[in-house]
Structure 1
Amino acid sequence: MLNIKKDLNQRKEMIVIICSLAWPSVVEQALQTTVQYVSSAMVGRLGAKASAAVGLTTTVNWLINSPAFAMGIGVLSYISLCIGAKKVEKAKIAAIQSIIITIILGIIMGIATLSISPFLPKWLGAAPEIQRNASLYFGIICLPMLFRVATIIFGAVLRSTGDTKTPMKVNLIMNITNIILNFILIYGNQTIFLGKLKIPVYGAGLGVVGSAIAAAISYTISGILMFLALYKNKIVSPKGKKIKLNLPIMKRCVNVGFPVTIERVTTCLGQVVFSSLVTRLGTLAFAAHSIALTAEEAFYIPGYGMQAAASTLAGNALGEKNEKKLQQVSVTMIAIAVAVMTITGTILFLFPDFMMSIFIKDPVVIKSGSSVLRIVAISEPMFGALIILEGIFNGVGDTKTPVFVSILSMWGVRILSTFLCVYKFKLGLKAVWLCMIADNIFRFTLLFIRFLSGAWKRNKLLRK
């Protein structure tokens, strides 16, 4: 009886810790999604062509962000493990390595993306009428690449120390800035009515280009603020230390992050190919596809918000060499994510028309997007568990198996089946989204089998 009470108390304490770490990340994800909602809605007012121009390079942006996210995972895994093992000095050295990684990645990715921006829309098979705007949009938002990378990697460093509130605050500032600048830069001069009061507002009337400039300025501000936050962090601040390479620690971070980089780059390339296949269905179908993807994002906010907490707590437990705690954290996080995303999935299933109408008024686009949202809503709980599983494996540095699974699933299930649906069987957007869901189901199944086997946990504990 006493053991049962003790286990219940431990479980309650763990849920409190999980919630305290997760809620700022959930809010942060919500803020990011909100600003994307607002931006998409503002651009959507310009019409389906403008929405398609902005949505065309969404998957390419996932691709170019993937090395930064992957290296952030490598640093987060190592620092959280060091903190769990009470090796604070090594954690600080790892934070210094994150600065070096940020500079190198930011410069390389900035040059690469600006070089391809004039040609990218044509490569993706975009209709001629949206190619120019799509190219300008992509080029402008890639100008501050160093700051985009800084936001991602330094945010991961802060989360690894248990500080999830600061990244949330930085994202709040970034998102407010983005929304205000979108309003000013996208539209021309307007008059706002507050009751009988008329307020004239200046507008640049830049359309899609204005949205890109707003995003670029916001990225720059967030990168600077995240860097300052890193220097003020009490646990891993590099203040007073030389920014120099520490080869053994850099190697540890890269060894975890590199497989994730391969996985993210390969799967994001798959997303780009997937997106180019959808463009073959026409501009209206692609607009419905890209807007539906944006609408769906709000409904997996809880999963991605809890993923960082799962990685941090799993890494801490590994550093403590506490197998029981590692298991409890993992199971509890998965259960919470599934429960929450069952609720969000139900909401999405019931109100897909409303979600689409936030972004565009075209009835054809709304009807097409709503039909695929209702399909994907059913898979949300499973997707929540998948997100947490990835977070747990990343937190303990077990990244090689998930890499293999993701690559196999993306190219062997999603791309192959979509290609057949579009080219061979001439099917529409619903079939394409069923291919996307099949990819997620396949990936979840393989990762869940690995989780149940316990090999990921035993192997890592034995090495520490």
Structure 2
Amino acid sequence: MFSSKKSDTLLAKIRNGAQLTGREKLELIVELSIPSMLAQITTVMMFFIDAAMVGHLGAAASASIGLVETTTWLMGSILSAVSLGFSVQVAHFIGANDFTRARQVFRHALVCGVAFSVLMALVGASIHQSLPYWLGGKDDIAPMSSGYFLIFSLTLPAVLLFHLMSAMLKSAGEMRVPSLLSIMMCGLDVAFNYLFIYVLKLGVVGAALGTMSAYFFTVIPMAWQAICKNKIIALRLDRTPFVWMGSYVRNAVKISFPVAVQNILMGSAQVVSTLIVAPLGNVAIAANSFAITAESLCYMPGYGVGDAATTLVGQTYGAGRSDLCKNFAHLTIGVGMLVMAFMGVVMFVFAPEMIGFLSPVEEIRLLGAMVLRIEAFAEPFFAAAIVSYAVCVASGDTLKPAAMSLFSMWCVRLTLAYVLAQSYGLRGVWVAMATELTFRGTIFLLRIRRGSWLKGIKAKA
């Protein structure tokens, strides 16, 4: 349906300074977005199926994963930020037709990324027994949470390689391979989960082992495609010896550090949100966890468009094409908002069925569906925040956008959530979430309109 040769030709036109028609721009956005959307949705489906399989084990099993879920997302997002610091540089060098330096950055990313992920795995393993109690868990679910988190921590090197290889391929304009491998990972996850949860009867620990196995079996072909096969970034294409360049690492830190700090503080805010929800009981914990999982199925298309924005803005920025860079930013944001407005309607209409798929417990289903419908109204602005942030990161503008996201999360969402939870329970927490996402999307739209994220490209032009 979608032509790899066609998107490669259009990306080459960007690098070579050729003009693109309006139709070609939209075609390129669609060509790059659709595979990434499918990959994002498939990845969420993996967690969706995980949650459904565990959900049928009862509320305590569901709550045990929900308790540490925000922490696992936090750790994964930090590894994603590490990958981002290098992949943005790769996109800029590719846009400038300097493929040799793009591959040199890739080599540095492998060394630094693997070392950092091993360190994180050791930290996670050292705190796995205490973490559930720090998060407010009780003795009925803490041991299950602890076992799940330990296995996840040991999976982190594979998670890093998955993020890194996927980001590098996307920076080179290759969306199809990461998408197909993400779909494969989802299928493997279902198969391994069934084996470990039901056949071997390992319960919550089985869910973690299933996810670990899926990551390890997927990252091998993903690494092979990036390191050996891709026609731009494959390391075998280098004819010059590898030389360590501290500037690549410094630039990666400059890009990644604000993103990582944001992810840490945003993840910490999610943990605080879990602490706000925890006193409301196991039903509220499980409903909150399932609603987050179900909602992620609806906002992942926004991240798919964001991936396309990262590639297009990153390469046009590297090519020094200011007007085209701005044009792609506006177009991708508009497409993202339209797609997620549609997904918001789907989420509102099918909220009971989405939560019912995850849990047979009627009380959890009713509460989860109620909060999902509250969130549905904020989805277009959530898309604006997602894609606008991707645009800023692709241009290397990470500090102020990170500060904006943190202010929105900590000063708007958590403050409102704490106040409203006292009177309205979990509904109040999700009203706060919807309000904050609308606020965040609005301030990001204002930043894109003002154009300050493009200051660096003007110096090159």
Tell me which amino acid in the other structure corresponds to 1:412.
C
The 8 Å contact of residues 314 and 395 in structure 1, kept in 2 or not, is answered as yes
Q: CA deviation at 1:276?
A: 1.7
Q: 2:111 aligns with which of 87, 97, 100?
A: 100
Aligned equivalents of 2:306, 2:344: Cα separation in 1? 18
Aligned equivalents of 1:320, 1:289: Cα separation in 2? 44
Q: 1:133 aligns with which of 137, 144, 168?
A: 144
The 8 Å contact of residues 76 and 312 in structure 1, kept in 2 or not, is answered as no
Give 1:369's aligned residue: 368
Aligned equivalents of 2:134, 2:242: Cα separation in 1? 40
Q: Any idea what the Cα deviations from partners look like across 1:53-108, whole Å, max 9, x if unmatched?
A: 11211110111112211122222211111111111111011111110122111111
* Alpha carbons of structure 1 residues 80 and 284: separation in structure 2 relative to 1, 3 Å: same
Tell me which amino acid in the other structure corresponds to 2:444.
L
The 8 Å contact of residues 80 and 315 in structure 1, kept in 2 or not, is answered as yes
Q: 2:204 aligns with which of 205, 208, 223?
A: 208
Residue 87 of structure 2 is aligned to residue 76 of structure 1: yes
Tell me which amino acid in the other structure corresponds to 1:440.
L
Aligned equivalents of 2:243, 2:132: Cα separation in 1? 40
Residue 322 of structure 2 is aligned to residue 323 of structure 1: yes
Aligned equivalents of 1:128, 1:418: Cα separation in 2? 26
Moved over 6 A (4+): none
Q: Any idea what the Cα deviations from partners look like across 1:212-252, whole Å, max 9, x if unmatched?
A: 11111112222323222221222112236766532112222
Aligned equivalents of 1:131, 1:146: Cα separation in 2? 25
SS in 2 for 1:361: coil
The 8 Å contact of residues 97 and 244 in structure 1, kept in 2 or not, is answered as no
Give 1:443's aligned residue: 440
Count of matched residue positions in the alignment of Structure 1 and Structure 2: 440
Tell me which amino acid in the other structure corresponds to 1:214.
G
Give 2:286's aligned residue: 287
Q: CA deviation at 1:402?
A: 0.7
Give 2:223's aligned residue: 227
Aligned equivalents of 1:10, 1:56: Cα separation in 2? 50
SS in 1 for 2:140: helix
Map 1:43-442 to 2 at 5 A: 43-187=54-198, 203-232=199-228, 233-239=230-236, 245-422=244-421, 425-442=422-439
* Structure 1, unpaired ranges of 5+: 1-7, 188-202
Q: CA deviation at 1:9?
A: 7.3
Q: Any idea what the Cα deviations from partners look like across 1:364-403, whole Å, max 9, x if unmatched?
A: 1111011111110111111111111011001111111111
Q: CA deviation at 1:152?
A: 0.8
The 8 Å contact of residues 45 and 360 in structure 1, kept in 2 or not, is answered as yes
SS in 1 for 2:97: coil
Residue 461 of structure 2 is aligned to residue 460 of structure 1: no
The 8 Å contact of residues 287 and 365 in structure 1, kept in 2 or not, is answered as yes
Q: CA deviation at 1:260?
A: 0.7
Aligned equivalents of 1:87, 1:401: Cα separation in 2? 29
* Alpha carbons of structure 1 residues 279 and 218: separation in structure 2 relative to 1, 3 Å: same
The 8 Å contact of residues 377 and 434 in structure 2, kept in 1 or not, is answered as no
Tell me which amino acid in the other structure corresponds to 1:394.
V
Aligned equivalents of 1:265, 1:313: Cα separation in 2? 27
SS in 2 for 1:308: helix
The 8 Å contact of residues 382 and 437 in structure 2, kept in 1 or not, is answered as yes
Aligned equivalents of 1:436, 1:278: Cα separation in 2? 13
The 8 Å contact of residues 383 and 441 in structure 2, kept in 1 or not, is answered as no
Q: Any idea what the Cα deviations from partners look like across 1:88-130, whole Å, max 9, x if unmatched?
A: 1110111111101221111111001111111111000013211
| TM value normalised by structure 1 | 0.92
SS in 1 for 2:202: coil
SS in 2 for 1:245: coil
| TM value normalised by structure 2 | 0.92
Q: CA deviation at 1:169?
A: 2.2
Aligned equivalents of 2:242, 2:184: Cα separation in 1? 28
Aligned equivalents of 1:54, 1:182: Cα separation in 2? 14
* Structure 2, unpaired ranges of 5+: 1-18
Q: Which moved more, 1:412-421 or 1:17-26?
A: 412-421
Aligned equivalents of 1:145, 1:9: Cα separation in 2? 41
Tell me which amino acid in the other structure corresponds to 1:81.
H
Q: CA deviation at 1:459?
A: 4.0
The 8 Å contact of residues 76 and 395 in structure 1, kept in 2 or not, is answered as no
The 8 Å contact of residues 382 and 440 in structure 2, kept in 1 or not, is answered as no
The 8 Å contact of residues 84 and 316 in structure 1, kept in 2 or not, is answered as yes
Aligned equivalents of 2:364, 2:231: Cα separation in 1? 50
Aligned equivalents of 1:245, 1:49: Cα separation in 2? 50
SS in 2 for 1:57: helix
